[in-house]
Structure 1
Amino acid sequence: MFNTASKMSLYSPTSRLETTVNTDAKLECSVTRTTTDTSRFTITWMFGSQMLLTMDLDAVVKFGPAAGLEMDQRIRVEIRQKQDFQLIIQQVRTSDSGQYHCEVEEWLQDPLGDWYSLEKMSVSTELVVKEKASDFKMNKANTQLKVEEGKQLMLKCSVEGIGSDSTLRYSLTWMFNQYESSSVALLTYSHDARLKYNSFDSELEGRLHFSTPEVGVFHLTIHRSIQEDRGCYYCQVQQYQLDCKGQWSPKAGDKSGFTNVTVQLIENNLHVQKEEQSLNISNLQAGFTIDCVIESRSSDASVFEVTWSRDQRNEGSVIIFNASRDGTLHSAIDNKDLVFGHPSAMHYKLTVPNVNPSDTGLYHCQVVEWIQTAANKWRKIGEEMSGTISVHEDTEERQKNVSFAMDKNGKYLFIKEGEQFDIECSLDVGKEDPTHHYSLRWVFNRPESTSGIPLLSYSYDGRLQYHTENQDRLRFSRPTSDTFHLAVLNSDIADSGRYQCRVEQYQLDCEGQWKPMARDQSGSTIVTVHSIESKLHVQKDNRTLNITNHQAGFTVDCVIDSQSSDKSVFEVTWFKVQEEEGPVTMFTARRDGILHSAITYKYLVFGRPLATHYKLTVPQSNPTDMGQYYCQVEEWLLTANTWKKLDSDKSGVLSIYVHTEGDSDKQTDPLGTALGVTIPLICFLVLVIILLLRRDHKRNSELKKKKDCLWAENNPLSPMPEVTPAAGDHS
């Protein structure tokens, strides 16, 4: 063992080294003086208190626990000029910051060739890794953008200060803040070129178009802008950089300024020609034409819906023809063919051929201008009516032959929702004429509406035609030749309004042709349909049932005490509630009669002994059936071909306790228990009393015997022995 004093000295150029992320850090550790010229060294680099790596005398490097599985790929040791040891950390991160200690151990060789070490020495360097200052920024300027409805909207988001660094990429999220609502993401474009639309509004998603014409420049186009597009738009950008391992790591982030978008609605500029005309029809075969000329429109992209109506004396306005915006044509006149024409984009016309007395009146057209703002979304821009055309026909001679009249008195009907109501239209024809036939049309006017809606038409030749989508609820009948009935089934609130029938008289001429002779109309029947007041009530008795016979089962009754309407139907659902669990559906009897059991492990027995009495039986009880049972009733009513839920109510609770066999053995009836204790106790007390009485009787007998023994005859005296004289003298 040699006691050689070490003359080694170490040097580090700096005690603190600052650098930025994703750069290479080099930590120096130099031996400036050695003990001998043949000295060799072992190096240990420490990171904090843990070993990072060590290099032995043969320059073999081993990594320590501080290197981990990832850092050992970024660090290495280089030897320069034999005595300079450099630790290199590639692509440093902020987590690499800390104290690094370089420990050097000098080794000498003795004369026998063996190596021995001298005292260790160390130097320290603090490494500080900082985030690299962001080399990009967003345009923060706030802008105002106004766009006309239906036009496309272009938004731009750009990154400033982008160089030619190919290791940089950007991800973007476009945000939209609608007025008085929170911000939502419209789309996200990731740094790896993946584009994802957010589905909060599928209609808006279909109108978005994203593009990036150059690096750091992003465009968002919104086609066919609508009023809902107004609001605040901005984008959030994240910068990514490619590291030495080929991974993209976030580097910096920023967001742009706000673009406040205002959508200017198309102003109403619709004008329809309002020229007033008067036509006197002399040639009945010629007919007449009602022109509808649009003088100006609000937008070149708009479309029109045109409706022709007729006003007759003492009658409201009745729609006779409609040309919808999608090109669909609908005629409300069934006894003749109306001829529609559209000679130019802003010129519509309707021809009424073969004029008869029922065609006289005031005609006009109503034009509605529509603009398609998005897929399946339309907005009405304006509405305007044309001038009127007054159509007259000389029918004085025919009116002289009028041979019928109608009841002009008004009627009022008050109906409950869901009920049927009947309307009658009667003619006073005087003397019946087999050459006279009648056509009838029933017209309905909603409250505060000026246009009548044709419900049905009955032609003089027996043809019946319905003009409403609710024809399944209409029942037409003609019990007599001069009486017409209309029944409306399953009434709804929307059926409230004014009903009127209009009759035309036809006569068979000598040529076998039916000619219109006269017309008239009835008084109005005002129908008011009231909503049904809920009167549903289910019996709410609470009961408790202890079950010991498992074969018996139990029944959950559901009794409806009152209902809102005689025509209502019920849907009944039974529920079971157990401890620490919510209600669980067991069985449902739907309003259409379908039964559904949610219990799969046993059969439930449904019963309905009365119209308002439902019951559900659970056979063969077991401990799992313990809990609380109740039913819930929903009351439904058929109105206007749709089912309306009137109300719902719950029954009382049936509490079920099922006792197992062990419980039944252990369980005793309180009365039985009392009797079982009392009877043995009474028997014991009676036995004690008997024993005491016998003992008393025995004692009395003995005392009596003792009293009897005191008599001389029962107890003879024994003689005393004689005393001798000697004995007497002695005494």
Structure 2
Amino acid sequence: MAPLQAAVVAILLPLMLHYTTGRDVILPVGTLYRVAGFPLSLPCAVVGYEGARTQDFEWFLIREDANGRQIGIVSTRDQGFSYAPYQERVRTGEVRVERDSGDKARLVVQRLRPDDQGRYECYTPSTDSSYQGNYSALVAVKVMPDTLRISHTRVLTGQPMPEGAELTLTCSAGIQSQEHTHLSITFGKRGGGGGDSSGGGAGGEVSTLREIISLDRALGVTPGSSQSYRKRYDDGEITLEKRNGVGGVDVYAARLRAVQPDDSGSYYCEASQWILDPDGSWQKIAQRTLEIGNLTVQPLSESMSVTSTPSGRVSLQAGSPLSLTCQVSGLPSGGTYGLLVQWMKRGSLTSDATAAGAGGVEVEVARMSPDGAVSWGDDLSRGTGGALEKVTEGSYALRLFSARPSDSGVYRCAVSVYAGRKNPAPSAAATFTQRSEGVSVNLKTKEVLVSAVAQVPRGPLLKRGNTVTLFCNVTVTTTGPAQVQVLWLRRPIPEPVIIKGDHQTDPALLLPVEEAAIPVAALTYEGMAQIFTNGSEVSVDRVSAITYRLRVHAASPEDQGLYVCQAEVWGQDPHGGWYNTQAKAESPVVTVYLYARAADLLLIPLVIGVSSALFVGIVIISAVTCCFMKRLARQRPQK
């Protein structure tokens, strides 16, 4: 029964409420204050009615000086309803009724006049079976004089402004009202880009009206709704400030720290007057828009250029100083710009290489950040052997005091511009980046011939635990001072791999498997020993002018393998510094195999002999014990 009772209550309750309350007409709570010359919108709704869902509405005005006499304004059911004061305004649409739904409509007065002040009545003709409830409602409207003022102090001339320059938009605004009202200011732009766009309409038209920044009625600053303006506001690139003026008219200044090409367009300033209605909602009662002027932004890419000197190809002897200059020109004067200058290098040219043939990965040689700090790329040693300097405004020189053969390659200067920011954050994106043409740098080295031969000295067979000695004889033919750097490498002795043919019965083919070489030890050109192995005791030294020795003490089976020595020749530049001439040689392979010691060979028969003797003794003892026990068992029954 409970569900049935609930259903009956749900059906009867609305009917009971209807017959209890009846029809009711609802208007906003008054008194409403509006401004002459600006729109009035009065919504009216009817509830609790019977009949069709589309209700009719009639509007009347009771002026304060009319002794309660009603003036018909407009009706939804009678086109001739309007009284003489409103007939022409209704005919032109200045005064009209707009429906929100069948039982909701609003009276719209496009431009209020002082004599529109009074009490407005919304009446709904009855469609009910009985006359019950309220069929009209009244609200008082006060019409205030228009005191909203707006003016500009500087107009944009439309002359091109360079990208990155600072733009300040100003306008003055104020109100003088006896009622408590608030003022809001909005700066915006028409045309061009400047933010996210959203398509509209079947034709795919795009709105070009953009709000840049606003000061709301509570004096809160908010950026435009586009993602671009929000980000620039968060980064401090767009600001708005209020400056106190004279006679209640204040000055508002919007600043764009660095204009962008998308900032081209027509700018305006909009002032709005707000009032708090009795129902607690804020209403915009007046608004004026002032055109500030047109702006054209010239992109940096159209004016800036980056060149490097000398151009083309540079050939130097190794050890000579290298100087490259990066020239930045075309930056507009009067702007604020931060420059990140980078020298990049790609490839390594030999004496007969060409710029077009230089390949490889482009790496950073050095950079100068916008704050003037210099840092070097992967080769940190260049910090003491070179310099990156700002020679004059827009001119940056890369100097290598003693160029090395590894410095050969194609050099380019890359300049990143941060418009409007002298010292941008490390994570900030550059406004524009441009690169110079490549400069091919070829470092000529003196003629160097090098050969290397590795060998094991003659002697007894190498056994486990012995000291393994290897010699590397290096021959260098060159002019001037030279040093040799020797590196010993070891590969494991290849294990054969069986590869079968198409049929299982085909004979096997034995192929060696070559593994990667393992560095063992090195002797640098400065005479310093470097040991790379962890398990064995290794030493390396130079025993004569051309002979280098590697010794593996207490060799173990892990030290067996195929050994080679690599020799690199280092030359001396005129300043006394050493550089790698890139001349190198690798010796033929030397095989090191360790035989077992005599003690190890004697241990095997000794172990076998002891094991055999123990086995025979156990068998004999077991047999004797077994026979003795059987004989003893036969003797016991005879007793």
Question: TM-score scaled by structure 2?
Answer: 0.40
Question: RCO higher in 1 or 2 (8 Å CA, sep ≥ 6)?
Answer: 2
Structure having the higher Rg:
1
Question: TM-score scaled by structure 1?
Answer: 0.35
Flag the structure with higher strand content: 1
Flag the structure with higher helix content: 2
